[in-house]
Amino acid sequence: VRFRTSPLLLLLLLSASAVAFTPSFTPSYKTNHISVSCNLEKSGDGENGIQNRRSALITTAAGIAGVASSGFLGQLSIPSASAKLIEPTTTTKIPTWTLRNGVLPNKPVKMPILALNTVGLSVEDTARAVELALQKGITHVDFHPGKERDGVANFLKKSWSGGVEGEKKLFLTTKIRKPPPGTSPQDAVTLCNDQINEDLSILGVTQVDMLMLRDSPDCTVMQSQWSVLERALRDGRCRSIGVINYCRGSLECILQTCAVTPAVNYFMYHVGMGSDGSRAQKLRAFGEERGIRTFAYGAVGEPGPLDKDILKNPVLSKIGMDHDGKSTEEVALRWVLQGGAACSVRPTTEFGLGMSVCGKEGSKCKDGIGMRAGSFDWKLSDGEFMQLDRLTEPDGNPTLFSSAGCPDAYVMPKK
């Protein structure tokens, strides 16, 4: 994430520290919406250093989509005179994926594979959760426009913490709102572009690290809005682009005309959805074979935690006890990460449809975030991983929160 910095302040800081630099530049970028599919580039498997049995099978020849945008402000850690840097209180290092595509292959984006999911948090709770996450080494913040974005903005204003080295680097991921049903492609383009500019202005930054596009029942709307994200990528308002809750049909729509392949598909994925032939595995295979990595949410279920099927699951409980009393939610998250997906996690299991909590009273939120950050300090045995892989319940629809253009989409209850 790049922060807005006063030219005068920047000049003074550079003079004082005698910093040498290379000026920013505008990358060459060719957009071709005539081609029938995106140009996929091959890349390494990333740097997570963890077991990736399933992904290795289905992505051997796949490229990793994503992009980096370069700029001088994004390469320096320049806090204001009154800034307070957040120092991590843990030695845990969150692994990263290297996202690349044809825009700036020599400037890859490093995406931390564990993210704080702020969905449903209030403005105050979002700011609190971000601070606690940074203290535990979680630098990837996954938020929605609205109150969550405003909470992130409040945190950034209160405590500058966006440096680019080590754990001080913030990786900001946000989503484009769904256009109302019946919106024309032209109006959808305007809505998308206006939201990007509004979000950057409120956050006080010149770019975010990832923009994710929601689906629509209208393929031309998705294609038109995707072109806006590609333009945002080209002009440096974001560093990578992905999609959220895209079923196969929605992916096929985007792949018909895109110039840049989505870096990730963000969808629900938890134990019970990993068996061969499940909807989630079919979707994952389809995307990863085309260079679209899996960014999961809902490791313990959505829209609320699956108490009986995951949190009180005897299989997960037994595995946890065999690992120094790990909780079932720790086991569930470890399975997602060890299977080669990235994961966005809520700070606690106190959540439901449209709500989540990170209260200032007590230590539950702090402890919950710390527990999640510790997911890379241990691992499942091959036998335990396979045992969880074979579970067929609780199964679920990976794109539950998609539009009516995808099968079995969630219908919001009437108030």
Mean pLDDT of the chain: 81
CB atoms within 10 A of CB 158: 12
- State the pLDDT at residue 281: 96
Please name every residue paired with 112 in a beta bridge, in sequence order, or none if there are none.
96
Percent of the chain scored above 70 by pLDDT? 73
Q: What does the block give as tokens for 210? A: 């990832």
Per-residue pLDDT averaged across 374-380, rounded?
97
Q: Is the pLDDT of residue 405 over 50?
A: yes
Instruction: Tell me how many degrees the CA angle 214-294-146 measures, rounded to the nearest 5.
Output: 35
- State the pLDDT at residue 83: 40
Q: What does the block give as tokens for 112? A: 């931390």
Binned at pLDDT 50, 70 and 90, residue 142 comes out as: very high
Q: Which residue has the higher pLDDT, 351 or 161?
A: 351
CB atoms within 10 A of CB 111: 27
Residues 6+ apart with CB under 8 A from 195: 145, 176, 177
CB atoms within 10 A of CB 14: 15
- State the pLDDT at residue 167: 32
Spatial distance between the Cα atoms of 21 and 164, rounded to a whole number of angstroms:
15
* Cβ atoms of residues 135 and 91 within 8 Å: no
DSSP string, 234-273: HTTSBS-EEEES--HHHHHHHHHH-SS--SEEEEE--TTS
Place of tokens 């045992």: 387
Per-residue pLDDT averaged across 98-110, rounded?
72
Binned at pLDDT 50, 70 and 90, residue 57 comes out as: very low
Spatial distance between the Cα atoms of 206 and 2, rounded to a whole number of angstroms:
5
Nearest to 326 by CA among 385, 364, 375: 375
Percent of the chain scored above 90 by pLDDT? 67
- State the pLDDT at residue 408: 86
Nearest to 319 by CA among 244, 257, 381, 398: 381
* Cβ atoms of residues 244 and 287 within 8 Å: no
Binned at pLDDT 50, 70 and 90, residue 410 comes out as: confident
- State the pLDDT at residue 289: 97
Spatial distance between the Cα atoms of 246 and 257, rounded to a whole number of angstroms:
16
Helix (H) or strand (E) holding 115: strand 114-117
DSSP string, 178-244: PPPTT--HHHHHHHHHHHHHHHHHHHTEEEBSEEEEE--S-HHHHHHHHHHHHHHHHTTSBS-EEEE
Per-residue pLDDT averaged across 386-410, rounded?
92
Q: Per-residue pLDDT tens for 292-329?
A: 999 999 999 999 999 999 999 999 999 999 999 999 99
Angle between helices 364-373 and 328-338 (to 10 degrees): 30
Q: Per-residue pLDDT tens for 143-176?
A: 999 999 999 999 999 876 444 333 347 899 999 9
Q: Which amino acid is at 83?
A: A
Q: Is the pLDDT of residue 47 over 80?
A: no
Residues 6+ apart with CB under 8 A from 232: 193, 196, 211, 238, 241
- State the pLDDT at residue 287: 97
DSSP string, 265-331: EEEE--TTS-STT-HHHHHHHHHHTTT-EEEEE-TT-SSS--IIIIIT-HHHHHHHHTTTS--HHHH
Nearest to 209 by CA among 159, 160, 139: 139
Q: Which amino acid is at 12?
A: L
The CA–CA distances, whole Å, from 234 to 74, 172, 337 equal: 15, 18, 31
Q: Which amino acid is at 164?
A: V
> Of 12-16, 51-55, 262-266, which gets the smallest average pLDDT?
12-16
Spatial distance between the Cα atoms of 329 and 316, rounded to a whole number of angstroms:
8
**For the whole prediction, is pTM greater than 0.85?**
no
Q: Which residue has the higher pLDDT, 15 or 293?
A: 293
How many Å separate Cα 392 from the centre of its chain? 26
Q: Please tell me what DSSP assigns to residue 63.
A: B
Please name every residue paired with 355 in a beta bridge, in sequence order, or none if there are none.
352
- State the pLDDT at residue 106: 65
